[in-house]
Amino acid sequence: MNAESDERDGVVATPTTGPETGGATDGRGLGSRAPQYIQARKTLHLSWQVGVFVVGLAVVIAGIIMLPLPGPGWVVIFGGMAIWATEFVWAQLVMRWTKRKLTEAAQKALDPKVRRRNIILTTIGLVIIAVLVGIYVWKFGIVMPWKINE
């Protein structure tokens, strides 16, 4: 017996990392996440892929519409990409790249030098805004848009 197989059950272990799985550590490789009975039938699998593409496209388009309008545009776009990633390798690769970049950005944001710089810049910005608001109020006063006295 070796580490790669279990002769009692006739099951061969598959690697969970490496080029075969695209470097995934969760045990799932790249490719379709459709149920086996759907993958076994070519016509059914093709219609499944078309359905996943159409649903993902609708979600991504809704996210793009939400970008200039009120709403969580980027979250919805990434949700559409996640829908596509259940079936398409290119979307899985995009999602992995995005997760890696977000993790790198989060680690960079936790760097004490970067945090200190961000706090200083935010404080300076707030002071400038407070001074400008103070000058405006001193010059023009506060006028409410509604008339309470009438």
The string of pLDDT tens digits covering residues 47-88 is 888 999 999 999 999 999 999 988 888 899 999 999 998 888
| pLDDT bucket at 42, cuts 50 / 70 / 90 | confident
For residue range 99-140, list pLDDT tens digits in order.
999 899 888 888 888 889 989 999 999 999 999 999 988 888
DSSP letter at 150?
Answer: -
Task: Give strand ranges (E) for the chain.
Answer: 5-6, 11-12
Q: What is the pLDDT of residue 2?
A: 44
Helix (H, G, I), strand (E, B) or coil at 6: strand
pTM of the predicted structure, to 2 decimals: 0.53
CA dist., res. 53 & res. 65, Å (int): 18
* Residue 1 pLDDT > 60: no
Q: What is the pLDDT of residue 105?
A: 87
Note whether 100 and 84 are within 8 A (CB).
no
CA dist., res. 24 & res. 26, Å (int): 6
Q: What is the largest CA-CA distance in the chain?
A: 93
- In this structure, how many other beta carbons lie within 10 angstroms of the beta carbon of residue 81? 19
Tokens found for residue 119 = 């706090």
For residue range 5-41, list pLDDT tens digits in order.
444 444 444 444 444 444 444 556 777 777 777 777 7
Tokens found for residue 150 = 């009438």
